[in-house]
């Protein structure tokens, strides 16, 4: 059986849940409570020395890390339905939109970074919020500009079926909403996220619908 080590509010685990659901793959969940620090326990560090979720253990014994690498693996092993377009240029666009979220926005705003700001740099709550909002707005403004003007955009980030780009976007918007970011300047992002949220694969992957949801 395929097992996903994750956490209901982890954006990276959320991405993998969406990908698994879109592909119709069954999986068990093994929650790792990041707030309680379970990711730093020996059991979990043995699975992933970086102490980060998600980790996907596949039914043939692979132990996979890093959400985008896991999604690419799922795409190669279970190509239908596709998370990447058929043409190389389209694939490059989808991967670039996904990376924009996964490499430019998310890493700056995850739990370990916010903790460092508070505990090591001793920034107050106002400055922490400003930091969070700054990177959301910088990234979403760029993403909105691309989605609005590029012909590849359809009902979803690329065309009319969900792709790896949407898999990254929806958890990031969930995260931004949790931090009360005003997303009114991003109508295309909001329209696409609404399309995604209408799909069961996204609904069933949402943080509020997981076994470890609190």
Give CA 32 to chain center in angstroms.
17
How many Cα atoms occupy the beta-carbon half-sphere of 45 within 13 Å? 5
Q: What is the DSSP string of 5-32?
A: EE-TT-HHHHHHHHHHHHTT---EEEE-
| CB nearer its own copies, residue 188 or residue 203 | 188
State how far the Cα of 181 lies from the Cα of 187, in Å rounded to an integer: 14
**In terms of DSSP bridges, do strands 55-57 and 3-6 run parallel, antiparallel, or are they unpaired?**
antiparallel
Q: Among 62, 36, 74, 67, which residue's Cα sits nearest to residue 50?
A: 67
Least Å from the CB of residue 80 to its own copies:
15
Rule CB under 8 A: say whether 142 interacts with its own copies.
Answer: yes
Least Å from the CB of residue 91 to its own copies:
7
- Residues numbered 23-82 forming contacts with its own copies, rule: CB under 8 A: 49-52, 62, 64-70, 72-73, 76-77
Q: Where are the beta strands (DSSP E) in the chain?
A: 3-6, 28-31, 55-57, 63-65
CB 183 within 8 A of CB 173: yes
User: Segment near its own copies (CB under 8 A), from 1-9, 14-22, 36-44, 97-105?
Assistant: 97-105
Rule CB under 8 A: say whether 96 interacts with its own copies.
Answer: yes
Of 29, 118, 131, 199, the one binding its own copies by CB under 8 A: 131
Rule CB under 8 A: say whether 201 interacts with its own copies.
Answer: no
| CB nearer its own copies, residue 23 or residue 91 | 91
Of 2, 29, 99, 161, the one binding its own copies by CB under 8 A: 99
Tell me whether residue 59 is exposed, middle or buried, using C-beta atoms within 10 angstroms of its C-beta: 0 to 12, 13 to 18, 19 or more: exposed
State how far the Cα of 135 lies from the Cα of 107, in Å rounded to an integer: 10
Of 4, 13, 100, 201, the one binding its own copies by CB under 8 A: 100
| CB nearer its own copies, residue 116 or residue 179 | 116
Q: Where on the chain is the footprint of its own copies (CB under 8 A)?
A: 49-52, 62, 64-70, 72-73, 76-77, 88-89, 91-93, 95-96, 98-100, 102-104, 106-108, 113, 116-117, 120-121, 123, 127, 130-131, 134, 139, 141-143, 145-146
């Amino acid at each position: 059986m395929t097992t996903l080590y994750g956490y209901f509010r982890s954006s990276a685990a959320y991405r993998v849940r969406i990908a698994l659901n879109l592909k119709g793959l069954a999986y068990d969940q093994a929650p790792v409570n990041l707030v309680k620090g379970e990711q730093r326990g020996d059991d979990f560090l043995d699975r992933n020395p970086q102490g980060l979720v998600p980790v996907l253990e596949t039914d043939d014994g692979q132990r996979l890390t890093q959400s985008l690498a896991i999604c690419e693996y799922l795409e190669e092993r279970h190509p239908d339905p596709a998370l990447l377009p058929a043409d190389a240029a389209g694939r490059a666009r989808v991967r670039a939109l996904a990376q924009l979220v996964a490499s430019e926005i998310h890493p700056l705003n995850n739990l370990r970074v916010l903790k460092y700001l508070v505990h090591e740099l001793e920034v107050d709550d106002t400055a922490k919020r400003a930091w969070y909002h700054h990177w959301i707005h910088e990234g979403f403004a760029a993403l909105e500009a691309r989605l609005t003007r590029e012909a590849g955009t359809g009902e979803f980030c690329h065309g009319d079926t969900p792709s790896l780009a949407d898999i990254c976007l929806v958890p990031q918007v969930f995260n931004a909403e949790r931090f009360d970011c005003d997303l009114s300047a991003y109508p295309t992002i909001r329209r696409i996220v609404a399309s995604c949220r209408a799909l069961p694969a996204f609904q069933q992957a949402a943080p509020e619908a997981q076994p470890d949801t609190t």
